[in-house]
Amino acid sequence: MSLTLFAVLLPFVAAIFIPLLYKWLRSVHTGWFVFVIPLVLFGYFLTFIPDVMNGNYYYHSISWVPTLGMDFSVFIDGWGLLFALLITGIGFLVVLYSIYYLDKKREALHNFYVYLLLFMGAMLGVVLSDNILVLYVFWEITSLSSMLLISYWYKREASIEGAQKSTLITVFGGFTMLGGIALLSIITGTLSIQEMIAQADTAVNHPYFLAAMILILVGAFTKSAQFPFHIWLPDAMEAPTPVSAYLHSATMVKAGIYLVARFTPFFGGTAEWFWILSSFGLITLLYGSLSAVRQKDLKSILAFSTISQLGMIMSLLGIGSAALYFDVPNEIYTGAVLAAVFHLFNHATFKGSLFMAAGIVDHETGTRDIRKLGGLMTIMPATFTISVIGAASMAGLPPFNGFLSKEKFFMALTDVTEYSIFSIESAAIWFPIVGWIASIFTFLYCAIFVFRTFGGKFKPDNFSKHVHEAPIGMLISPIILVTIVVIVGIFPNIISPVLLEPAIASIMQGVPQDHPAFNVDIYHWHGWELELFMTIAVVVLGSLLYATMRKWENFSIYQRERDPVNGLYDYGLKGLVSSSKGVTKLQMTGRLKDYLSFISVFLILLVMYTMFKFDAFGLNLAGMSEITVYEAILVLFFIVSVLAIPFIQQRVAAVAVLGFVGFYIALFFVIFRAPDVAMTQLLVETVVVILFMLAFYHLPGLRKEKDKPTFAFPRVMISVAVGITVTAVALGANAYQQGHDLIPISNYQVENSADLAGGYNVVNVVLVDYRGLDTVLELLVLGIAALAVVTLVKLRMKEGEDL
Is the pLDDT reported for residue 346 higher than 80? yes
Tell me what pLDDT residue 450 has: 95
Selected residue with higher pLDDT from 700 and 800: 700
* Rounded average pLDDT over 415-431: 80
Rounded CA-CA distance 122/8 in Å is 8
Alpha carbons within 13 angstroms on the beta-carbon side of residue 8 total 26
Is the pLDDT reported for residue 620 higher than 60? yes
* Rounded average pLDDT over 290-306: 92
Rounded CA-CA distance 266/255 in Å is 18
Q: What is the DSSP letter of 704?
A: -
**How many other C-beta atoms can be found within 10 angstroms of the C-beta atom of residue 394?**
28
DSSP-assigned beta bridge partners for residue 369: 297
Tell me what pLDDT residue 64 has: 84
Residue (of 341, 314, 351) closest to 82 by Cα position: 341
Share of the chain above pLDDT 70, in %: 94
| Angle subtended at Cα 692 by Cα 690 and Cα 693, rounded to the nearest 5 degrees | 65
Tell me what pLDDT residue 534 has: 93
pLDDT band at 281 (very low <50, low <70, confident <90, very high): very high
Report the length, in residues, of the chain: 803
Is the CA virtual torsion 186, 188, 189, 191 positive or negative?
A: negative
Tell me what pLDDT residue 709 has: 47
**How many other C-beta atoms can be found within 10 angstroms of the C-beta atom of residue 619?**
10
Tell me what pLDDT residue 701 has: 62
Cα(first)–Cα(last) distance of the chain, in Å? 45
Rounded CA-CA distance 735/526 in Å is 81
Is the CA virtual torsion 475, 481, 484, 490 positive or negative?
A: negative
Is the pLDDT reported for residue 756 higher than 80? yes
3-state helix, strand, coil in the chain (%, to 5): 75, 0, 25
Rounded CA-CA distance 80/128 in Å is 6
Is the pLDDT reported for residue 802 higher than 70? no
Is the pLDDT reported for residue 704 higher than 50? yes
**How many other C-beta atoms can be found within 10 angstroms of the C-beta atom of residue 466?**
9
Beta carbons of 630 and 638 less than 8 angstroms apart: no
Is the pLDDT reported for residue 179 higher than 50? yes
pLDDT band at 589 (very low <50, low <70, confident <90, very high): confident
Rounded CA-CA distance 284/315 in Å is 9
Instruction: Show me where the domains of the chain are located.
Output: 1-208+226-255, 268-553, 587-702+710-756, 757-803
Q: What is the DSSP letter of 564?
A: T
Is the pLDDT reported for residue 637 higher than 70? yes
H or E segment at 72?
strand 70-76
H or E segment at 674?
none
pLDDT band at 65 (very low <50, low <70, confident <90, very high): confident
Q: Are strands 58-65 and 70-76 parallel, antiparallel or unpaired?
A: antiparallel
Q: Of the ranges 156-170, 315-329, 668-682, which one carries the lowest mean pLDDT score?
A: 315-329
* Rounded average pLDDT over 791-795: 81
Model pTM greater than 0.75? yes
Is the pLDDT reported for residue 482 higher than 80? yes
* Rounded average pLDDT over 144-169: 91
Is the pLDDT reported for residue 328 higher than 70? no
* Rounded average pLDDT over 621-648: 83
H or E segment at 710?
none
Tell me what pLDDT residue 518 has: 67
* Rounded average pLDDT over 172-199: 94
Tell me what pLDDT residue 703 has: 57
